Amino acid sequence: TAKTKEAPETTASRYHTLVDLAYDAIVTMDSRHNITLFNRAAENLFVYSSQEVLGQPIVNLLPENYRAGHPRKVQQFSDAYQPGLRQATPPKMDGSNSVFGRHRDGTIIPVEIAVSKIKMNDEIEFMAIVRDIRDRAQLMELLKKQAATDALTDLLNRREFMDFVKSKLDASEGLSVFILDVDLFKNINDRYGHDIGDEVLRVLARVGSSMMEGNGLFARWGGEEFVAALPGVDAQ
C-alpha cells in the first residue's frame, strides 16, 4: 500500500510537542540574533516565559561581560560550521571551555551547549541545545577544593604550597618561607585524645592564617607541621 503523506500541520504539531517535551533547553535565534524559539525547558532554566523573550535579543540570556563579543563568536561559528565534522557530543564544561547563561534574577548559570546552523523558510537560524550543569560544576569545584586543601584544617596542602612558592620565586620582590611544628604534640594526643589533638591543629591553623598579611600563605605541611610563605618579606 502507498504510504500516506502526513499533513504539514501534523508534522509541525509533532515537532513543537517534541521540542517542548525535551529535557534540555532549546533556543533558536535568527540572523539578527533575536530569539525565535524558546521551549519549556528553556523557560524553566532561565525563568522567562517564551512570550517574554520571543523576538528579543539572544544576548539577554548571557552574562553582561559576554554580550559584546557574542556577534563575533556567532560569525566565527557560522563561517567554520561543517555539519559532517561535528562532534557527537557537546563541549564539556571545564576550565578551558566554560559557557554561561544568565538567570532572570542575574545569577550566572554554568551550561553545556551544542549549536547547529539550520535553514528555516529560506532564512538562516541557529539552534542551541542548552544543558544545565550547575550540579556538575559544583561537584567539580568541590573536587578541586578537596584536591588542594587539607581536610582537617581547611588550609592549602603541601602540593599547593609548593606551587605557590614556585610561582613567587621568579618575582623580584623577595620571598621568605618558614616552617613550624607543635612541640611534644604526641603528648597532647596521648593525654587528651586525638579529637582534642585535631582541635589544637585547627586552632593553630586559624591563628596562623589570621597573621598572614598581603598575599602571604599559611599551609599545612603534614602532621603537626605548618609552613608559611611571605612574598616581599626578607629574613630580617
Mean pLDDT for 118-123 is: 80
Between residues 20 and 65, the one the model is more confident about: 65
The torsion angles phi and psi of 111, rounded to 5 degrees, stand at -135, 160
- What's the mean per-residue pLDDT of the chain? 85
Q: What is the pLDDT of residue 124?
A: 86
Of 6-15, 47-56, 91-100, 192-201, the one with minimum mean pLDDT is: 91-100
Q: What is the pLDDT of residue 37?
A: 92
Confidence of residue 141 (pLDDT cuts 50, 70, 90): confident
Which one-letter amino acid corresponds to residue 9? E
Between residues 140 and 129, the one the model is more confident about: 129
Long-range contacts of 183-190 (CB under 8 A, 24+ apart): 185/223, 185/224
| Neighbouring residues of 117: CB distance < 8 A, sequence distance ≥ 6 | 77, 78, 81, 83, 124, 125, 126, 127
Confidence of residue 180 (pLDDT cuts 50, 70, 90): very high
Q: What is the pLDDT of residue 96?
A: 38
Q: What is the pLDDT of residue 198?
A: 95
Q: What is the pLDDT of residue 2?
A: 56
Mean pLDDT for 116-124 is: 82
Q: Which residue has the cell 523576538?
A: 55
CA-CA-CA-CA torsion sign (182, 184, 186, 187): negative
Confidence of residue 94 (pLDDT cuts 50, 70, 90): very low
Task: Record the cell numbers describing residue 3, joined without a space.
Answer: 504510504
The torsion angles phi and psi of 224, rounded to 5 degrees, stand at -100, 20
Mean pLDDT for 33-37 is: 93
Catalytic annotation, pick one of 9, 64, 213, 224: 224
Of 55-59, 122-126, 198-202, the one with minimum mean pLDDT is: 122-126
Mean pLDDT for 165-176 is: 82
Contact 126, 115 (CB under 8 A): yes
Q: What is the pLDDT of residue 54?
A: 95
Known catalytic membership, residue 112: no
Between residues 125 and 9, the one the model is more confident about: 125
pTM over 0.75: no
Mean pLDDT for 90-102 is: 59
| Neighbouring residues of 168: CB distance < 8 A, sequence distance ≥ 6 | 175, 229, 231
